[in-house]
A and B are shown apart, each in its own frame.
Chain A
């Protein structure tokens, strides 16, 4: 069967504004949106531009706005969408070309929360101990693949691009609640400023968008609570 694939196109060397183009693409029942995009590029127009790598939802390259929701193109099957598919770049991020957005600011915010273990005690001779229960506290937020689906689905981020955003908070949470880490205070300081956690309006868009099933709003609330209990 065929589907109607609408792609938002933009070539900065030719266009002044994005426009939609429509392609008829043959598909198989188990195809994912990434397969359809790839086929369109291979068969119909080699200049269609998107990022992709692993093609099974672990690298985070192909987060896109698919039929109005932020999804990984390699994790949405065509049969879940019907005969008409629309694909646009992630909202709220500068478009480089077609479906490719500029990720520099996004990664800059990630780096701003000190996303690394801070535990500057003298080198021990072996592994640190951590109970499975202590590990479970931050398990959910270790799953993040930095695809930006959450941050670019957030109305607070659209309204205020300086907002650090859910992805950065998720990565701060991963360390703040790790029993081995001693850097919580520094991270909470970063996140307690005006563009930190307080911009979250708990709309749960991020939870819906996350391809890894992370309960992001819960993580943000836990970070907010930690800031509150600092006094």
Chain B
């Protein structure tokens, strides 16, 4: 009889492991290669298919190539954009190191658009301002509207040049610890990888493991995220006693394609596009008169919901228009070619002559696995680290994005902290000894995975996944309240119960995507639970977390990061703690634009 897993297990010893090959993972791998550290990069896709490649609009750095700009302004915008939940030391690192990171990308060959004098061109983006909020500034360095694609390609090219060892289509299914789990002071000592091509498990041992697995947008029904974004790294860490931080802060991007959520970049508004309600009014003048359509994303998504609730959606329906017609064919085709194509292919709309229907789409996790500035994973609110474990990019929470991320700062984050991760891991690898070999380390996960495909009967993963997507959309969306969130927590718990009966139909060992999707559903349930539980506990409105029953920001009680731990076994998550926000330069103020 065929089995979903092969009986024998492989053993691979390296110094460093990178899980995920998006921008953060690739840059970390590059730094490790430069230091001569034997490294394995595992990705469940091929590296060039990572979701960094879907980022469109640009990467902000205060180069000042087009007009005056300073990293201090970028730092301030990031903090204000994050509704003062951003750790200010982290925002300073982000804004300062964005500049050399972008220059280094250029030197690696990234084909940026250019100014008339041949420098990297820059354009406007939401929430990025001159002189601490006076008006929009040109800070976003870009390559048409496929900046993420170019970053991903360029970093992958450099990894090939540097001889980085990739394990393509290896799905990481467990983290290994020695000396106890993360909350017991244990050290991360490796991972278990599942080779998708033949169903074999591989135990990889290392001194340093980086989680660079991205976000979990697939928890929601309408999302800009790839199918593969299931919160793998967050859930795996959570299951081993690592807390998750600020999970209630999840960004809805204002301009998704209606119904399916594919993103139409903020670059459309950066180039001057309008948002219009049913009467053709630029409604943002009622919500953010200074920045208008370039206000931060959380504010625009809420404004769209307000318009729709007031009956001012297009034809009274649940969407508004993104209008770029006045920019003219040349700008649209040269600077926004991909999103023009998306509107044509997926909506049958011609942006040159028609306004494009848009609605908010689940987009980005501000929260995630907590880390310090060196990307070392934190075990508690006091800042103690989990030895051997690192995180960077969307999976991590440093926190640079606070309660709401500014456009382009996701790319800045993965460049700056991906690079920092590689450097720090190299130091750790040179100064520690290899973990001990634990025979049969893959046994527990083997049993767990086999159970999914050997139950005589059960529930299809897709049924639970659809139900979860509805719960998250209705209960943990742009607007929340006690009733919605209480119900969501309860429903997620019920679905976690259902998941104990999940069964995959494919029982083979070759390329068993049925089994992998069932695993991913388990990750999504964990990440969703952390999100809903954290959201219920935070009785205030801040950034992307908007409580209708607590509409004001409450700095006295909640100027702090939420930490939530997983319950034991299938028990619900109830342990919550708060970690103070680091404030260095900018005292919290009301957030108006």
Contacts and interface: CB of A to CB of B under 8 A. Distances in A.
Task: Say whether A and B bind each other.
Answer: yes
Interface of A: 11-14, 30, 32, 41-43, 45-47, 49-61, 75, 77, 96-98, 100, 103, 107, 111, 115-117, 119, 123-124, 126-132, 135, 138-139, 142-143, 145-146, 175, 178, 180-181
Contacts of B505: 45-47
B345 A57 contact: yes
Max chain A C-beta neighbours (<10 A), residue from B114, B119, B143: B114
Interface stretch (B132-140, B155-163, B233-241, B467-475): B155-163
Looking at chain A's contact residues, the main secondary structure is loop
Contacts of A13: 2, 508-510
A32 to B, nearest CB: 8
A146 B48 contact: yes
Contacts of A103: 46
Interface in B108-164: 108-109, 111-120, 143-144, 146, 149-150, 153, 157-158, 160-161
Contacts of B347: 30
Contacts of A50: 513
Contacts of A117: 108-109, 157
A32 B345 CA distance: 10
A59 B49 contact: yes
Contacts of B119: 127, 129
Contacts of B46: 61, 103, 107, 146
Contacts of B120: 127
Given A58-B53, A97-B510, A126 B346 contact: no
Contact of B160 (A47, A111, A127, A132): A111
B54 A58 contact: yes
A142 B149 CA distance: 9
Nearest to B166: A107
A143 B144 CA distance: 10
Given A54-B54, A56-B346, A116-B158, A12 B111 contact: no
24 contacts: A13-B2, A14-B2, A30-B260, A30-B348, A42-B462, A46-B506, A54-B51, A54-B54, A54-B226, A56-B262, A58-B53, A60-B49, A61-B45, A116-B161, A119-B107, A123-B107, A126-B103, A130-B118, A132-B116, A135-B111, A135-B112, A135-B113, A142-B111, A142-B153
B109 A178 contact: yes
Q: Which 3 A-B pairs have the closest CB atoms?
A: A117-B109, A46-B505, A129-B118
A46 B53 contact: no
B271 interface: no
Interface in B1-58: 2, 45-46, 48-51, 53-54
Given A13-B510, A50-B513, A143-B146, A55 B197 contact: no
Contacts of B2: 13-14
A128 B51 CA distance: 28
Max chain B C-beta neighbours (<10 A), residue from A100, A103, A142: A142
Interface string B154-184: 0001101100000010000000000000000
Contacts of A12: 510
A108 to B, nearest CB: 11
A29 B296 CA distance: 34
B519 to A, nearest CB: 14
Contacts of A49: 506, 511-514
Given A49-B511, A178-B111, A59 B462 contact: no
Contacts of A61: 45-46, 49
Max chain A C-beta neighbours (<10 A), residue from B54, B112, B461: B54
A98 B514 CA distance: 13
Chain B's interface size range is 35 or more
A7 to B, nearest CB: 14
Contacts, number: 151
Interface string B273-290: 000000000000000000
A45 B255 CA distance: 34
A130 B153 CA distance: 19
A60 B48 contact: yes
B501 interface: no
Nearest to A124: B107
Contacts of A180: 109
A145 B48 contact: yes
Contact of B338 (A43, A58, A126, A181): A58
Nearest to A103: B46
Nearest to B345: A75
A53 B511 contact: no
B394 to A, nearest CB: 15
Nearest to B120: A127
Contacts of B153: 142
Contacts of B157: 115-117
Contacts of A175: 109
Nearest to A117: B109
A119 B161 CA distance: 12
A175 B157 CA distance: 11
B514 A54 contact: no
B262 A130 contact: no
B294 interface: no
Contacts of A142: 111, 143, 150, 153
Contacts of A55: 226-227, 262
Contacts of A98: 511
A103 B345 CA distance: 27
Contacts of B150: 142
A135 B54 CA distance: 22
Nearest to A35: B260
A55 B506 CA distance: 23
B106 interface: yes
B508 A53 contact: no
B243 to A, nearest CB: 29
